[in-house]
Structure 1
């Protein structure tokens, strides 16, 4: 009996040990605390604001976080970026706050829920600029009816913004000649006279509009206050923005429009301590971000959760709360 009891104890102990080992292996296989050494950070088109800011963030992390290399890559912006992060093709991305929320809801441009990511920080307001040439005769949103209008890439945040802004004016894409193209192509086509106006959602000043305004007198179309109120009632992510005459060269007017927020997201399964260290590196080397684009100056700890439309990643939350 004593020999049997001793054998049973040894057997059970061995079983518990093996089960514990198996549990550890399982956890590591699902991500666990294992850092991702090669990180992809998706930005946007090279003519926009996401690209220089995202590349600068990638370079800062690579230079200041041991054993982590981050590649900032050009992409199709918000919708594409969210899908890529959700599918595991990328670890981090710059997106619009409204688009990030729609993905988790499975609404608007998303036919089903797209998840697996969380917020890191918000950066700056992304202004929806309706750009045209000064001699186009287009002064109001209503004037866009029947015109050739660039509405952003297919499935982009810009396309959603264009649809919503036109919608509060009782205009649909069927009422215009909608052209799907990015900011750079839109600028070129405006200059060449192939389109009449373009929706551009980006931080100001936007490189593609700067290039256009250097050679062409431009106009930014006003959105009337009553339409802004209607838009904000239906879509609470928008805020009212005033653009001054000093925004661009050859732009001697002002414009009232709306903005959403640019934000950084990360995969949920990135380890908390890795995200903590990456966020810390960005804020402690913010000067490099500011040098890449002046919108980098708007990245601050105090405003890093303004307009945050989704849950924060635990690593980002830990760092921001400590500050």
Structure 2
């Protein structure tokens, strides 16, 4: 009887051991599969591209990029409307998007925790590339007599909406000319309000940061002899040396009826990405965009060139994007 019980007990233990080993194998297999799944999940199924308003440039460009990314990588992508540069940085910080359009200066302020990001530093963004210039235009008229930045002393000058990137541009340009906002009669007006004020004679000049030609300035040129105040080369050099997100630019002859081109500076429209996206994913996205620019229908698409992708970038480039630019021999100036 004892022998029979012993045999039964032995069979029971053997059965349980086999059962536990089988379960362990499944769990180990599950862990291995889960590990592989984690690697696979480095490629997201969907990404949001944060742009700007529907009437701006970022939104249609974002739509083109979304289609290119989907076709080339298989990742579902969608262009999302937003309040543009500064809002996009905050949205990425909160994890509510993956890629965003912004200006190079705004990205730098966000990354460094300066100006409008003083209490809201964004520490999870990297650059993909710069795209095209957003030109800083110091707009006035022939009858104002203003021919240089120094001539702004004592004048009523709009520096853009409060807290805007344009306001920061204005302050930095004044700075390299040995001036401050205290040297002008500062006005905080939108671009449309600024050009209307110039036309009405209530202000003398305005800083406008936008791609050229800018609609509000074109409207002013229909009734006034528009002057774009130049920035001299030594001041351009000083500005770029202190603030790496600036690049030299010009307003072409013929724009706003100008007889000659005007030298100035620009910040750049750029693409940034959340830094936690994998190197492979960002590499694939960067490659997809720059090797399919012929599919971008917006006029600004003609200005986007891989050889200029690191000009004035201002913040660290994502390793995935950097890998692509290394392959192409593209270096920062």
Decide: shared fold, TM above 0.5. yes
1:178 maps to which residue?
Answer: 186
Q: Note if contact 2:124-2:275 (Cα within 8 Å) is conserved in structure 1.
A: yes
Q: Hey, what does 2:21 align to over in structure 1?
A: 10
Kindly indicate whether structure 1 or structure 2 has the higher relative contact order, using CA contacts under 8 Å at least 6 residues apart. 1
Alignment match, 2:81? 73
Give the counterpart of 1:259 among 266, 269, 278. 266
Which residue pairs with 2:315 in the alignment?
310
Partner of 1:118: 126
Change (3 A) 1:19 1:58: closer
Deviation at 1:318, TM superposition (A): 4.3
Tell me, yes or no, if structure 1 residue 129 matches structure 2 residue 100. no
Judged with a 3 Å threshold, the aligned counterparts in structure 2 of structure 1 residues 43 and 92 are, in CA distance, closer, same or farther, namely farther
Give a deviation string over 1:245-289, Cα, whole Å, max 9, x none.
Answer: 22x132224423222332111222345555444434433432343
User: C-alpha displacement at 1:219, in angstroms?
Assistant: 0.5
> Which has the larger displacement, 158-167 or 31-40?
31-40
1:200-219 to 2 correspondence within 5 Å? Answer: 200-219=208-227
1:144-163 alignment runs, 5 A limit? 144-163=152-171
Is 2:304 aligned against 1:296?
Answer: no
**1:95 partner SS:** strand
1:197-276, aligned counterparts within 5 Å?
Answer: 197-246=205-254, 248-270=255-277, 272-276=279-283
Distance 1:103 1:65, change over 3 A: same
Unpaired runs of 5+ residues, structure 1, are: none
**1:163 Cα deviation from its structure 2 partner:** 0.9
Rounded Cα–Cα distance in structure 2 between residues aligned with 1:52 and 1:189 = 30
1: distance between equivalents of 2:127 and 2:284? 15
Change over 3 Å in CA distance of 1:19–1:69 after alignment to 2: closer
In the alignment, which residue of structure 2 is the partner of 1:99?
Answer: 106
Give me the whole-angstrom Cα distance separating, in 2, the residues matched to 1:292 and 1:10: 62
**Residues 43 and 281 in structure 2, CA contact (< 8 A), matched pair in contact too:** no
Partner Cα distance (1:202, 1:21) in 2: 52
2 CA distance for matches of 1:233 and 1:317?
23
Secondary structure of 2:91's counterpart equals helix
Displacement of 1:6 after TM fit? 4.8
Distance in 2, matches of 1:275 and 1:102, equals 23
Q: Which whole-Å CA distance do the structure 1 matches of 2:26 and 2:179 have between them?
A: 69
Q: Tell me, what secondary structure is at the counterpart of 1:260? A: strand
User: What is the CA–CA distance in structure 1 between the aligned matches of 2:322 and 2:206, rounded to whole Å?
Assistant: 37
Greater CA drift, 250-259 or 125-134: 250-259
Q: Which of 10, 35, 38 is equivalent to 2:44?
A: 35
- SS of structure 2 residue aligned to 1:237: coil
TM-score between both structures, scaled by the size of structure 2:
0.76
Offset at residue 119 of structure 1 (A):
1.1
What TM-score does the superposition give when structure 1 sets the normalisation length? Answer: 0.78
Q: Secondary structure at the match of 1:114?
A: coil
Q: Which one has the largest radius of gyration?
A: 2
Q: Which runs of 5+ in 2 are unaligned?
A: 1-9, 329-333
